[in-house]
Amino acid sequence: MIELYSPTEIEQMRPAGRFVAETLTELAATAKVGMNLLELDELAARRIKEAGATSCYVDYHPSFGGSPFGKVLCTSVNDAVLHGLPHNYKLRDGDLLSLDFAVNVNGWVADSAVSVVVGTPREEDLKLIDTATRALEAGIAAAVEGNKIGDISHAIATVARDAGLGINTQFGGHGVGREMHGDPHIPNDGRPGRGMRLKPGLVIAIEPWFLHTTDEIIFDSDGWTLRSADGSRGAHMEHTIAITEGEPIILTDRNL
């Protein structure tokens, strides 16, 4: 079911968005060479506890998950691009790290992701992150009243294709509100002018993710982590936004 929220309810979502944005900013800055992924997850768990918030991940067990997730943060490294299950791994110089974080604050959920390079960057990784960032910005720009879901998807895909990247549509954006994942599904490719019309009060997560040289993914043995089929690296960017009568509100804006 697709829900529309009142301006008052959207205002009530702001603390969740702000907390997710601030925590992701801290985690991205903390991720240094030699740091263990489990330490990042522990830091995120402490911040959740201090804020009196609730993780959306610990008990999360959708049909595609091998078991309840069991951690509070997704940490995807290099050829992993989505749903990376934190494990005993120390970050190395040049690692491409994607962090995905969703929490419930006072009954409202916010969901966001960011990709960074740890230590010395590879030029191709920086370009991949830049492409995912620009695709997210294009998707948000298309998320205005009167447009359709396909306009968001097409805007994302145009940026990816211009950069010579393939696009996987198995996982993408989604509705957000009282729950982490809801309708509508927002694929990272689509036809303009198609799909549901965007109305004020719709709150969605837009999340482009791309791989260097493939659009195919495989499940890791942990039952969660999704990796590129050819070993190439991936980047993932995501914001929770609200459709309004004017410009969309980026609830997880890390620049505020």
Q: Is 111 labelled a binding residue?
A: yes
- Give residue 124's pLDDT: 97
Q: What is the DSSP letter of 231?
A: S
Supply the pLDDT for residue 55.
98
Q: pTM score, two decimals?
A: 0.97
- Mark the ranges of the chain whose per-residue pLDDT is less than 70: none
How high is the pLDDT of residue 63? 84
Query: What pLDDT does 95 receive?
Result: 98
CATH architecture observed for domain 7-250: Alpha-Beta Complex (3.90)
- Give per-residue pLDDT as tens, 209-229: 999 999 999 999 999 999 999
What per-residue confidence (pLDDT) applies to 66?
80
Question: Which DSSP letter does residue 65 get?
Answer: -
Contact (CB, 8 A) for 181 and 196: no
The answer to whether the annotation marks 100 as part of a ligand binding site is: yes
**Could you tell me if 200 and 4 are in contact, meaning their C-beta atoms sit under 8 angstroms apart?**
yes
Quote the pLDDT of residue 1.
Answer: 84
For residue 174, say whether it is annotated as part of any ligand binding site: yes
* DSSP 3-state of 138: helix
Per-residue model confidence (pLDDT) at position 170: 95
Domain regions of the chain by residue span: 7-250
For every residue of 145-201, DSSP letters joined together read TT-BHHHHHHHHHHHHHHTT-----SS-EEE-SSSSSEEEEE-SS--TT-SPBP-TT
